[in-house]
Amino acid sequence: MRYTCVMSKTAKGRATRQSFQDAARRVFERDGYLNARLSDIAEEAGKSMASFYNYFDSKEALLTDLATDFDTELQAKVAEPFERGLAPHDALPEAIRAFYRHYRTRLPDVVGIVQASMVDPKFAADWREIRTNGVRTISIGIRRAQRDGWAPGLDPMLAASALSSMLEHFCWVWLAQGGDAIDVELEEDHAVDTLWKLWSHAIYWTEAE
C-alpha cells in the first residue's frame, strides 16, 4: 500500500474526494479498471480532470486508497466470527459468508485490484499480501483441526492456499464475471452453503473413513 494521497481540510474537499472515489467505483464496475480513463471518472463525478489531481496523484493512487480500505475491512469481517467465540467449525460458514458479502459489496474495488495487479508489480505485491493474510489464517485453522485428529497428512499451508483459491475465485467468477451458468441467479445462502460443505468435508475427515 504505497502511493500517497492528500487529505482535504474542508467538508467540501472531502465530499469531492469521496465523489471521485464513488465515480471511480461505478466506472470500474462498468468498464473495468484497465479500461477506465481518468476522463471517464471525472465525467462520472461531474468534475474536471484537473480537479482529480487535487486529490489523487493518479488512477493508481486512487485505487491504492480503495485497496487499503478493502483489505482492512476484509480482515476485520472475516476474523469476527472467530473472535466472537464460536467454535472453529461453526465460525467457518460465517467467515465464508462475510468474505462473500464483502466481495460483493466491494466488487469494484476487487475488479480494480485484480486488474491492476495484472500490469503493475506494485499492485501484484499488494494483492498478494492481502491474499497471504487469508491463507495464513486458514492454515492456522487447518492445523488446529489436525490437532483434533482431522485430515492427517494434509499440508496445511498448501491446502489453505487451495481453499483460499476456491473461495476467492468462486466469488470472482460468480460476482464479477456473471457466473459459470447462464440463467442462474445465485443465492447467497446457496453459494455459502455449497462452499461450506466442500470446505468442511475437505478438512474434517479421518483416514479410518
- Smallest distance from its own copies to CB 65, Å: 21
- 5 phi and psi, to 5 degrees? -155, 165
Of 12, 83, 85, 187, which lies in the binding site for DNA, with binding defined by CB under 7 A?
12
Instruction: Decide: 123 and 65 in contact? Cβ < 8 Å.
Output: no
- Smallest distance from DNA to CB 67, Å: 16
- 193 phi and psi, to 5 degrees? -60, -45
Query: How many chain residues touch DNA (CB under 7 A)?
Result: 21
Count how many Cα atoms sit within 13 Å of the Cα of residue 38 in the half-sphere of its side chain: 14
- Asked if 8 interacts with DNA (CB under 7 A), we say yes
Please identify, using beta-carbon distances, which residue of 53 and 204 lies nearer to DNA: 53
- Asked if 49 interacts with DNA (CB under 7 A), we say yes
In b/e form, how buried is each residue of 193-209, taking b as 16+ CB within 10 angstroms? Answer: eebbeebbeebeeeeee
C-alpha cell at 97: 459468508
**Distance (Å, rounded) from C-alpha 47 to C-alpha 118?**
29
Which residues, numbered 170-209, are part of the site for its own copies (CB under 8 A)?
170, 172-174, 177, 179-181, 184, 186, 190-191, 194-195, 197-199, 201-203, 205, 209
Taking contact as CB under 8 A, which single stretch among the options 47-55, 69-77, 82-90, 131-139 is the one that binds its own copies?
131-139
Of 10, 153, 208, 209, which lies in the binding site for DNA, with binding defined by CB under 7 A?
10
DSSP assignment string, 100-125: HHHHHHTHHHHHHHHHHHHH-HHHHH
Neighbours of 84 (CB within 10 A): 10
- Asked if 32 interacts with DNA (CB under 7 A), we say no
Binding footprint of its own copies on the chain (CB under 8 A): 32, 34-35, 114-115, 118-119, 124, 128, 131-132, 135, 151, 153-155, 157-166, 168-170, 172-174, 177, 179-181, 184, 186, 190-191, 194-195, 197-199, 201-203, 205, 209
Binding footprint of DNA on the chain (CB under 7 A): 8-10, 12-14, 16, 36-39, 47-54, 58-59
